[in-house]
Amino acid sequence: MTATRWLAEYAWLPDRSEPTADVLIEAEDGRFTTVTPLTGAAAPTAGVEVLTDAVRLPGLTLPGLANAHSHAFHRALRGRTHGGRGDFWTWRDQMYAVAVRLDPDSYLALARATYAEMALAGITCVGEFHYLHHGPDGTPYADPNAMSAALVEAAAQAGIRITLLDACYLTASVDGGPLAGPQRRFGDGDAARWAERAAAFTPDGGHARVGAAVHSVRAVPAEQLSTVARWARERDAPLHVHLSEQPAENDACRAVHGCTPTRLLADREVLGPATTAVHATHPTSADLALLGETRTGVCLCPTTERDLADGIGPARRMADAGSPLSLGSDSHAVIDLFEEARAVELDERLRTRRRGHFPAARLVDAATAAGHAALGWTDAGRLAVGARADLVTVRLDTARTAGVPPVGAFFAATAADVTHVVVDGRAVVADGRHRSVDVPAELRATIAEVTR
């Protein structure tokens, strides 16, 4: 691969509280080799001649955004679940109606379009929390990991990296109710058989890695939680778990196990620095302390949590307790990490009726380095020499961003303001267009197919 060179009007460099002007960025073989401000005190004395062949990036250039929590097929539900009143559980029934219709070919097509929408939004890596493992009646495909392979291939075709979080999903309720109806295709029988199947999946391509997931304490019996945790630990793989998205989950866990879901996960060695709890919307103070002292990360999904009327998680208290925060678009009610990031601050304002909880640099970190780390890509999400060469450029001259100072971009920009996206040194989006996927056309066609 040849070297590439860019000149960013502004770039958000690591450990800075605001963007830096006129930054020369070079990459070779998918890694940054130069990240140098050309003006100001740090400027080199001889740098003018390098500018002629650099690709100019007007606006603010960020590290790659990481979408740490995705269920790709939920994209088919966008805008279709707003009739009537309903709650998380009625939404889930609608989600299951789509789930039963997918097979490896149709899931590849839908996920390719969804991941290409993510690329347009500046997302260079996705954490796919995957549980549609088997045929609709629970019978494994000839290749028991055919659905995982479809998702990994979809990410390759969309030009982004993926961490396939293979979810163990065995029961329908905390008290061990069996999977029924649409849920049958999620299950492997027990955690040992889940582990065997998951271990057999070795994805093609340097763009993919595999992690593990406990769907939730509803879906994995307590005595089998440590099997999943051990599987991840032995492989040094990330481990994700849906946690306390709903008060009903806490109530059921207390009734069956006499403790909160967080306590149960701690006792079964599920928590730790390689673990990410998704949502954690309804934790107790003791839960927050447990998550923080084990350095368990929390992935907030504010646009989904608001869409499903889940509630507002205590983001500031989580961060203060020691949990790194990452972001996910989860149900894809929207795919816009700028909106997820500012919602962390804005929701906290609604809850506390005070402003100023997270400086902009903290929101950038959640959307970039912390998200990549939660997905096992600790060498991505920073504009720094040696890091993976991901770049996301947001225009500062659109109707939404004109007149906005670069430091305020996260409070004004939307996914539609992203114009250039580079993943591992390759341009995936240029001038606001995906280079290989007609995203609206493919979304329209694939969603029509699974919602007929």
- Smallest distance from the beta carbon of 69 to Zn ion, in angstroms? 6
Options 188, 307, 330, 365, the catalytic residue: 330
- Pairing outcome for strands 123-130 and 161-168: parallel
- Smallest distance from the beta carbon of 74 to Zn ion, in angstroms? 8
Residue nearest to Zn ion (CB): 330
Measure Cα distances from 137 to 16, 219, 284 in Å.
52, 18, 38
Whether 372 is catalytic? no
- Per CB under 5 A, contacts with Zn ion among 61-80 are none
CB nearer to Zn ion: pick between 227 and 246: 246
Are 63 and 381 contacting, i.e. CB atoms less than 8 angstroms apart?
Answer: yes
- Smallest distance from the beta carbon of 217 to Zn ion, in angstroms? 14
CA neighbours within 13 Å on the CB side: how many for 317?
18
Considering CB under 5 A, how many residues would be counted as binding Zn ion?
A: 1
Are 340 and 327 contacting, i.e. CB atoms less than 8 angstroms apart?
Answer: yes
Are 14 and 27 contacting, i.e. CB atoms less than 8 angstroms apart?
Answer: no
Are 290 and 271 contacting, i.e. CB atoms less than 8 angstroms apart?
Answer: yes
CB nearer to Zn ion: pick between 216 and 401: 216
CB nearer to Zn ion: pick between 4 and 246: 246
Cβ partners under 8 Å of residue 66, min gap 6: 123, 124, 125, 126, 127, 326, 327, 367, 368, 370, 371, 372, 374, 375, 377, 380, 381
Cβ count within 10 A of residue 211: 27
CB nearer to Zn ion: pick between 249 and 330: 330
- Comparing CA positions, the residue from 335, 326, 278 lying closest to residue 74 is 335
Residue 3, token pair as written in the block: 């070297």
Phi-psi region of 297 (alpha: psi -120 to 50; beta: other; left: phi over 0): beta
- Smallest distance from the beta carbon of 330 to Zn ion, in angstroms? 5
Measure Cα distances from 241 to 47, 119, 273 in Å.
48, 25, 13
- Pairing outcome for strands 418-423 and 391-394: antiparallel
CB nearer to Zn ion: pick between 95 and 392: 95
CB nearer to Zn ion: pick between 249 and 417: 249
| CA 118/CA 337 separation, integer angstroms | 9
- Smallest distance from the beta carbon of 233 to Zn ion, in angstroms? 22
Site string for Zn ion, 111-130 (x = CB under 5 A): --------------------
B/e letters for 12-37, b = 16+ CB within 10 Å, e = fewer, are bbbeeeebbebbbbbbeebbbeebbb
In which residue are the tokens 């999943």 written? 228
- Smallest distance from the beta carbon of 88 to Zn ion, in angstroms? 11
For residue 82, count CB atoms less than 10 angstroms from its CB and return exposed for 0-12, middle for 13-18, buried for 19 or more.
exposed
| CA 92/CA 337 separation, integer angstroms | 23
- Smallest distance from the beta carbon of 215 to Zn ion, in angstroms? 9
Options 69, 133, 279, 282, the catalytic residue: 279
- Per CB under 5 A, contacts with Zn ion among 288-347 are 330
- Smallest distance from the beta carbon of 304 to Zn ion, in angstroms? 7
Whether 134 is catalytic? no
CB nearer to Zn ion: pick between 309 and 441: 309
CB nearer to Zn ion: pick between 67 and 368: 67
List active site positions: 279, 330
Please give the residue ranges that form the binding site for Zn ion (CB under 5 A). 330
